[in-house]
Amino acid sequence: MGKELASQGIAQMAPHAGSVPMSEDEVGILIVSSILALVTWLVWFLGGTGIRALGRPSARGPLIHAPLLGSLALMLVLKFWASFDVRDSWKYTIFYVVLGAAWVGLARPFIVLLGLNAREDVHERRNAAAAWALAGAILALFACYAGANIGDGPGWWVVVFCALLSTAALFLLWAVFEKILRVSDAVTIDRDLASGVRLAGFLLGAGLILGRAVAGNWVSVTATIEDFVRDASPVVILLVVAMALEWMTRPSPSAPRPSVLVNGLIPATITLGGSAIFLALAGPWT
């Protein structure tokens, strides 16, 4: 994207170094992000049902593991592919992890608008299909944010701008997918596990492509938008493939409970494999 890849020789260094104290605006962002992350993720984990709910058997396993895996993946990205001053500073690593946790946490209302609700579908109704779909959405959001951290840039606002591009595109794709095929009905009403797995695979695959599309060194807003449109275009192919697979494998009157392996894992693997091929063809980040 407009954050041109470092291999192209364009490197704009961020204004802070590992030994330099955080600026006032960064401290303020860290405080606000910490509060938002704490509140949104407590609601996510507990579902408004209280601490005792954690000890009850339910389908919430994927809800717990997805944000933990996403955070771990984000830390690895920051350690190996973020700006040099982030890689060399534990303060800024923590800063961008907390900012990412708040970013993904704040995306929760948009997930609800697209038909999935962690509290109602998983915590209350113990719907495993919804849990897997939501887990895929969370990992996809982490992928969108993680890609925005790859490369050198002038500050945290660049990360936020790039994450906004990738995240907005993810929700737009999901909205198109939902509008045409109403996959949320199969997940929340039919409780079809295969549908939940397929949706998770599509969302994660799309998130990986969109995250890759915002990776690289910052140049300008205009160049960022132009390059994002170009580099994210393969996600449209992924959407078409996912829609075709959904049409062929979704529940029907003759097969109300499709095979999780044949109708869920295999289609999800196809979409994730497609995104992996794109990432391989796109080449290294640095």
Q: What is the pLDDT at residue 51?
A: 42
Q: What is the pLDDT at residue 137?
A: 98
- Which DSSP string corresponds to 74-141? HHHHHHHTB-HHHHT-HHHHHHHHHHHHHHHHHTHHHHHHTT--IIIIIIIT--HHHHHHHHHHHHHH
Percent of the chain with pLDDT over 90: 75
Percent of the chain with pLDDT over 70: 88
Q: What is the pLDDT at residue 58?
A: 55
- Which DSSP string corresponds to 15-67? S--TTSPPPHHHHHHHHHHHHHHHHHHHHHHHTTS-GGGGGS--S-HHHHHHH
Average pLDDT over every residue of 94-111: 95
pLDDT, tens only, 33-73: 999 999 999 988 876 544 444 444 457 789 899 999 999 99
Give the chain's mean pLDDT. Answer: 89
Q: What is the pLDDT at residue 53?
A: 47
Angle, CA 268 vertex, CA 251 and CA 265 arms, to 5°: 70
pLDDT, tens only, 183-233: 999 999 999 999 999 999 999 999 999 999 999 999 999 999 999 999 999
Q: Residues 232, 234, 238, 241: is their CA dihedral positive or negative?
A: positive
Q: Residues 247, 197, 234, 118: is their CA dihedral positive or negative?
A: positive
Query: Which has the minimum average pLDDT: 16-20, 86-90, 130-134, 152-156?
Result: 16-20
Of 112 and 3, the structure prediction assigns the larger pLDDT to 112
Q: What is the pLDDT at residue 16?
A: 42
Average pLDDT over every residue of 130-151: 97
Separation in Å, CA 167 to CA 48, 90, 161, 234, 272: 26, 26, 10, 16, 18
